[in-house]
Amino acid sequence: MDFTDKIVLITGGSRGIGAAISTAFAERGGIVAINYRSKHHVAEKLAKSLPGEGHELFQADIATAPACSALVESVVARYGRIDVLINNAAIHERHPIDQISYEDWNRVFEETIQIDLLAPSRLMYLTARQMMKQGGGRIVNISSRGAFRGEPDQPAYGASKAGLNAMSQSLAQKLAPYGISIGLVAPGFVQTDMVKDLLEGPSGDSIRTQSPFNRVAKPEEVAYAALFLASTEAGFSSGAIIDVNGASYLRS
C-alpha cells in the first residue's frame, strides 16, 4: 500500500493507536497532519521520529464545532487538500448506572457523545466537502467492539460507537458517487499506555483470555486495518467494518 505524498489527517494522532497509525502512514510515504489536544512534547517527539518530510502538528480540542472547522481549515491552508481522514480521537469513562449520580450520568454522556460521535460527524462533513472538490478521498473511523457486544459500565461509549457505525455506513452510500470511500475499524482491547495499569493488574489475565490468542491487540494491528481501508485498492470496501479483536467477539 503506497501513500506517497498523500495528506493524511489523524485525530488523536500523537499517542497510542493514533501514534501507530501516524507512523504506519508515514512509513508508506504519507504526509501526516497530527491532531492532538494537549501534551505538545509528546506530539512533537512523535512528529520528529516519523520518516519522510512535511509532517506537522495541529493542536485542537475537537469537542466543539468551531474547533473542528478551524482544524480542517488549517490543514487545507497548509497542504491544499486532505486525501485521508482518520477519526481516531475518543474518550471513555466508567459510569455504571447503579453507581453514578444523575448529574454525572448526563455529564459523561454529553462529553462522550461530543468527542466520540459529534466530532467525527463534523470532521466527516468538513472533510467530505473538501474531498468533493478534489474528486475523492478516503475516510476511516475507529470504532469499537463495544458497539456490538455492549458496554455495561460504559454505555455512552458503546452508544457513540454504534452511532458512528450507522452514520459512517449511511455516508458511505451517500458519498460513493463523489469518489469518497468510508470504512471502520472496530478493535477490542488494545495494548496502549492508557490501559497499561489495567492489563498489568488483577484483571489483566481475564482481559487477555477473552481472545483465544490469549493476548490483546497491538496498536500496529489496528493501524494496518486503517491502512487497508484508506488504500486505493480498498475503494470498493466502502461501508465495511473490520474487526480487530482476536476473535474475542464474533458477530454474524
Domains and CATH numbers, the chain: 7-244 (3.40.50.720)
Helix axes 155-175, 119-134, angle to 10 degrees: 20
Q: What is the pLDDT of residue 125?
A: 98
157 noted as active-site residue: yes
Q: Exposure of 173 by Cβ count < 10 A (0-12 exposed, 13-18 middle, 19+ buried)?
A: exposed
Give the span between the Cα atoms of 85 and 72, in whole angstroms: 10
Question: Measured in whole angstroms, how far is the alpha carbon of residue 241 from the centre of its chain?
Answer: 13
φ, ψ for residue 86, nearest 5 deg: -115, 110
Provide the terminal-to-terminal Cα distance of the chain, rounded to the nearest Å.
29
Judge contact between 182 and 139, C-beta under 8 A: yes
Active-site hit among 157, 178, 224, 249: 157
Closest CA to 147 of 225, 90, 217, 230: 90
Judge contact between 139 and 154, C-beta under 8 A: no
Judge contact between 11 and 35, C-beta under 8 A: yes
Q: What is the pLDDT of residue 224?
A: 98
Q: What is the pLDDT of residue 124?
A: 98
Judge contact between 180 and 138, C-beta under 8 A: yes
Q: What is the pLDDT of residue 194?
A: 79
Closest CA to 15 of 42, 54, 40, 33: 42
Q: What is the pTM of this model?
A: 0.96
pLDDT of the chain along its 252 residues, tens only? 899 999 999 999 999 999 999 999 999 999 999 999 999 999 999 999 999 999 999 999 999 999 999 999 999 999 999 999 999 999 999 999 999 999 999 999 999 999 999 999 999 999 999 999 999 999 999 999 999 999 999 999 999 999 999 999 999 999 999 999 999 999 999 999 878 888 999 999 999 999 999 999 999 999 999 999 999 999 999 999 999 999 999 998
